[in-house]
């Protein structure tokens, strides 16, 4: 049985029947405002507190903005700065405007920029000896590589490189709709080891955040669609497994 990496989010770990199989590459997908980035940040924060070197690689915002948003959302995470100072929680990234501006409609240029970003991610992982990683988000890569076949091939290469480095990674992705009833899986999602979907249920003022584990490679998982909320102390996942239901 695979060693399991705890996310540190108790309800999510219960849904995952203990955690993520070590070395798996997990796609966390959802609509705008679902909390994908915050969940991913909390995964790294909790693991940094456990003593694991954790790297957040931002592709949509500056590292400073990532920290600012996390502190605003989770004011009870009082030790973020001390973990950053101790280099257990490392926030790195690329300016998306620079990456996209550097590429052209030429496929070779786009592939070059993709390769450059991936090389930077790998360099950061190797230099810090990180074992827990977040890449936020894959949307920049999707804008960079327009051809679906080339994009899928690039995702396979990225995953292969991350597996070779032995890291357990959450990679965020945007979905076209936040509603489960309109859920459409992109083909490339299935090249990842695990899939976690975050979406909204209900109508108007009765809307509720919920998540679902679609698949995990190497272990069992819950098939229950589970509500969650975002509080000052972190993501609260109300899993039936954790409550013993």
Q: How far apart are CA 170 and CA 135, in angstroms?
A: 6
| Mean pLDDT of the 184-198 span | 83
Q: How far apart are CA 24 and CA 43, in angstroms?
A: 14
Instruction: Round the average pLDDT of the chain to a whole number and report it.
Output: 89
Higher pLDDT, 38 or 142: 38
| Mean pLDDT of the 174-199 span | 76
Q: How far apart are CA 130 and CA 126, in angstroms?
A: 7
Q: 235 pLDDT exceeds 80?
A: yes
- Over pLDDT 70: what percentage of the chain? 87
Confidence of residue 104 (pLDDT cuts 50, 70, 90): low
Confidence of residue 203 (pLDDT cuts 50, 70, 90): low
Q: What's the CATH code, domain 23-217?
A: 3.40.50.300
The whole-model pTM stands at: 0.92
> What is the β-pairing status of strands 25-30 and 194-201?
parallel
Domain ranges of the chain: 23-217
How confident is the model at residue 180, as a pLDDT? 57
Q: How far apart are CA 210 and CA 214, in angstroms?
A: 13
Give per-residue pLDDT as tens, 20-47: 999 999 999 998 889 999 999 999 999 9
């Amino acid at each position: 049985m695979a060693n399991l990496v705890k996310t540190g989010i108790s309800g999510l770990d219960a849904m995952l029947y203990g955690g993520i199989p070590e070395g798996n590459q997990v796609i966390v997908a959802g609509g705008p405002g679902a909390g994908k980035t915050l969940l991913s940040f909390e995964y790294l924060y909790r693991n940094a507190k456990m003593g694991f070197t954790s790297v957040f690689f931002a592709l949509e915002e500056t590292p400073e903005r990532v920290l600012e948003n996390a502190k605003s959302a989770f004011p009870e995470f009082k030790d973020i700065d001390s973990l950053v100072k101790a280099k257990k929680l490392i926030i790195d990234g690329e300016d998306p405007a620079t990456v996209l501006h550097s590429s052209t409609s030429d496929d070779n240029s786009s592939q070059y920029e993709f390769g450059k970003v991936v090389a930077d991610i790998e360099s950061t992982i190797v230099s810090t000896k990180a074992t827990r990683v977040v890449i936020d988000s894959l949307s920049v890569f999707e804008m960079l590589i327009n051809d679906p076949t080339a994009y899928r091939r690039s995702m396979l290469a990225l995953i292969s490189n991350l597996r070779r480095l032995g890291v357990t990674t959450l990679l965020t992705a945007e979905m076209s709709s936040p509603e489960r009833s309109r859920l459409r899986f992109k083909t490339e999602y299935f090249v990842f080891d695990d899939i976690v979907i975050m979406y909204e249920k209900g109508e108007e003022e009765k809307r509720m955040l919920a998540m679902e584990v679609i698949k995990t490679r190497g272990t069992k998982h819950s098939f229950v669609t589970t509500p969650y909320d975002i509080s000052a102390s972190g993501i609260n996942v109300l899993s039936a497994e954790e409550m013993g239901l």
